[in-house]
Amino acid sequence: MDFTYTAEQEAFRKEFRGWLAANLPHDLRVDDPADDRVASTREVFERRCAWQKAMRKAGWIGIAWPTEHGGRAASIIERVIWDEEYAAARAPVLPGMGLNLVGPTIIHWGTDEQKHRYLPRILDADEIWAQGFSEPGAGSDLASLATRAEDRGDHFLVNGQKVWTSGAQYAHAIILLVRTDPSAPKHDGISCLLVDMSTPGIAVRPLVLATGHHHFNEVFFTDVVVPKRQLLGPLNGGWKVSTTTLMYERHSSGARNPIGQVRDLLAAARRLPVDGGTAWDDPRIRQRLAQLYIDCEAMKYTRFRALTRQNRGEPPGPEGSILKLSGSELGVRIADAAGEVLGMHALVNRGSELVPDAPRWLNRLVAARQYTISAGTSEIQRNILGERVLGLPKG
């Protein structure tokens, strides 16, 4: 495994870093993208769309996409550099699921008409997408979904409900899993549809988190007409299509390394007064923060293992599930440590001289556990690793 960068890769990094420094508006910067991954207000959403348009114009959006679809066919290492520099600049999460999930799925499964219709609008932030997979009775066991799509000749008639739909309040369209053959085995009777959110019969209701953030929604479908040309992939082959989408989702969820949060906790511990000294003087706290730092480093090298496999052209290994599991569980441990290190400062939704980013830590404490559920629960990831890596029998 070679950790050095070529001169061309370093030039790529320097160019992108310089462009971000010159063009990223200061008031769009965020302390922790996970805290505001869906824009908190319509105004913030519109500004993020404008930011994506500016990035697109400069050639910095969809860099991993093939050139024939508007991307730059960037190498794996260039994508890593892009991620690192974007995070280091504290740039905001880009709006919707289009760039990282829906677009790549359409590139893989879409017809020429669908690619021509949707991909340019995704890149330009003219069409924002949501993901309609989970249901009240189908989360970890997604194949149990019950939303129906009846064949009515030239269209499907959709009825059902989706839940935990991130950003649906802003979305123009939704990638939707539906049951098209209720008599088939549950994995074989599912299809994937591309649905316009302005279609009559669609209702969006907010699900507000304990933090007060409105990330999630319920989405209801009542006699929604979807033309047959909106079928993505083969009829009753939606499970394979969804696997493509979930692969991208789990990669993006597991790829985030929270080492910046740990560094910020280290800095806070060194300045917070405790018993005539600082929190850093407590060896138990030092050991806990050191272990979190080690965990972040282990996660980084696990990601490098996954990247090495991709560079060699090898099939995906277990690293995706390892990264998703370790990343979300590490986030919970960091939140627990923040509560211990910051004490009352982590419970007040207002910054102070000692802890100017106190609202961020309150959000971490309240919200961290949600990531053990999204993009495949920790239990599901453990099952995958137990069965496919350790060879354990199914429970």
Residues taking part in catalysis: 249
Q: Which amino acid is at 159?
A: N
Closest listed residue to residue 366, CA positions, set 34, 136, 28: 34
Residue 135: DSSP 8-state = B
CA distances from 118 to 70, 227, 230 (A): 12, 15, 11
A 10 A CB-CB count for 223 gives 10
CA distances from 347 to 241, 272, 382 (A): 43, 15, 32
Q: What is the dihedral of CA 341, 342, 347, 350, to 10 degrees?
A: -160
Dist. CA 181–CA 342, nearest whole Å: 54
The number of residues making up the chain comes to: 395
Dist. CA 109–CA 195, nearest whole Å: 16
Dist. CA 368–CA 341, nearest whole Å: 16
- Collect contacts of 3-6 with beta carbons under 8 A, ≥24 apart: 3/304, 5/77, 5/81
Closest listed residue to residue 257, CA positions, set 383, 10, 88, 26: 88
